[in-house]
């Protein structure tokens, strides 16, 4: 493992951070995307939680237009021994559609568009028919949902809450600023890798924490190998298709940056590719510009 920011290796530092969280918070959940970073974070947390006899929850927001291998990996993560509640969200959430000026947003899992869905709705998910969130409205923005869920979770348990987020600072300057700029945020006991959350400019008793913020891409795959963790096989297919480990991304396919990788669906999951093309306005035209 490489060294970065601290006089210890990043694996030991991450385990230490997770131990601090499990010692100080009764209510903990992790935000999981199906990607390599959050997958590593959750599996590492599962090891620490098992040693400390703790349980935790997981939040996964299913964006519908995703690789089958991503969903297969999600099902693997659901089997981890220390997970109490796995919130598999398949609600009609608004997402960016950068492939069309006529439809700047699209809504995943929208009932009116069921005939166009890229995948069938998962059987064990939270959807519009069984939604337990009184505040949710169709077309809610992804970023707003994340904050409202944190507020709902804290209200449900009536205590201090920690939310694990698997971001790494070498991915972007904004991510580095989230961690480094302590003078502009409230932290938990001055740990710079934590940030107290705000809802409508008011702090709530929820702290985001970033246990792997100082990891590199090599560190992620090194730990997967070291511990024989499961991983999303779509990364293997991306690598075989010519993408380096630094270029591989997993997001909804119609975002400003993600649209450049739309052809990856064609190469990696051809049947999914056809459904992705038909899902949003003007996507068929965009493929000719790639």
Looking at the chain, the whole-number percentage of residues with pLDDT higher than 90 is: 67
Q: Mean of the pLDDT values across residues 169-188?
A: 73
Instruction: Residue 133: count other Cβ atoms within 10 Å of its Cβ.
Output: 14
In this structure, what token pair is assigned to residue 26? 């009764």
Q: Name every residue whose Cβ is closer than 8 Å to that of residue 190 and which is 6 or more positions away in sequence.
A: 182
| pLDDT of res. 99 | 66
Task: State pTM to two decimals.
Answer: 0.90
| pLDDT of res. 1 | 47
Q: Rounded to a whole number, what is the largest CA-CA distance in the chain?
A: 55
Q: What is the pLDDT of residues 13-22, one digit of tens each?
A: 999 999 999 9
Environment class of 289 (CB within 10 Å of its CB; exposed 0-12, middle 13-18, buried 19+): exposed
Q: Domains (ranges, CATH) in the chain?
A: 10-289 (3.40.50.620)
- The pLDDT mean for the chain works out to 88
Confidence class of residue 6 from pLDDT cuts 50, 70 and 90? low
Environment class of 88 (CB within 10 Å of its CB; exposed 0-12, middle 13-18, buried 19+): buried
Q: Name every residue whose Cβ is closer than 8 Å to that of residue 89 and which is 6 or more positions away in sequence.
A: 59, 60, 61, 62, 125, 126, 145
| pLDDT of res. 286 | 46
In this structure, what token pair is assigned to residue 93? 């959430």
* pLDDT(164) > 80: yes
* pLDDT(33) > 70: yes
Range name among 96-105, 118-127, 176-185, 256-265 with the lowest pLDDT average: 256-265
Instruction: Residue 11: count other Cβ atoms within 10 Å of its Cβ.
Output: 18
* pLDDT(92) > 60: yes
Q: Name every residue whose Cβ is closer than 8 Å to that of residue 116 and which is 6 or more positions away in sequence.
A: 275, 278, 279
Q: Mean of the pLDDT values across residues 145-173?
A: 92
| pLDDT of res. 281 | 62
């Amino acid at each position: 493992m490489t060294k970065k920011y601290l006089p210890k290796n990043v694996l030991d530092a991450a385990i230490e951070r997770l131990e601090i969280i499990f010692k100080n918070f009764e209510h903990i959940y992790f935000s999981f995307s199906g990607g390599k970073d959050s997958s590593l974070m959750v599996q590492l947390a599962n090891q620490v939680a098992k040693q400390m006899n703790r349980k935790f929850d997981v939040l996964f927001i299913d964006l519908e237009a995703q690789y089958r291998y991503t969903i297969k990996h999600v099902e693997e993560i659901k089997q981890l021994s220390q997970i109490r509640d796995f919130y598999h969200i398949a609600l009609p959430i608004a997402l960016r559609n950068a492939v069309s000026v006529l439809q700047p947003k699209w809504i995943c899992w929208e009932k009116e568009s069921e005939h166009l869905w890229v995948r069938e709705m998962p059987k064990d998910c939270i959807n519009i028919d069984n939604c337990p969130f009184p505040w949710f409205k169709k077309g809610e923005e992804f970023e707003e949902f994340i904050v409202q869920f944190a507020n709902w979770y804290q209200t449900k348990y009536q205590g201090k809450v920690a939310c694990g987020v698997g971001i790494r600072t070498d991915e972007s300057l904004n991510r580095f600023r989230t961690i480094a700029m302590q003078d502009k945020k409230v932290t938990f006991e001055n740990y710079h890798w934590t940030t107290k959350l705000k809802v409508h400019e008011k702090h709530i008793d929820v702290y985001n924490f970033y246990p792997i913020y100082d990891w590199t891409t090599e560190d992620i795959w090194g730990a997967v190998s070291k511990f024989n963790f499961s991983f999303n096989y779509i990364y293997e297919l991306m690598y075989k298709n010519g993408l380096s480990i630094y270029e591989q991304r997993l997001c909804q396919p119609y975002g400003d940056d993600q649209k450049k990788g739309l052809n990856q669906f064609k190469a990696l999951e051809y049947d999914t590719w056809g459904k992705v093309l038909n899902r949003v306005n003007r996507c068929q035209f965009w493929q000719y510009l790639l």
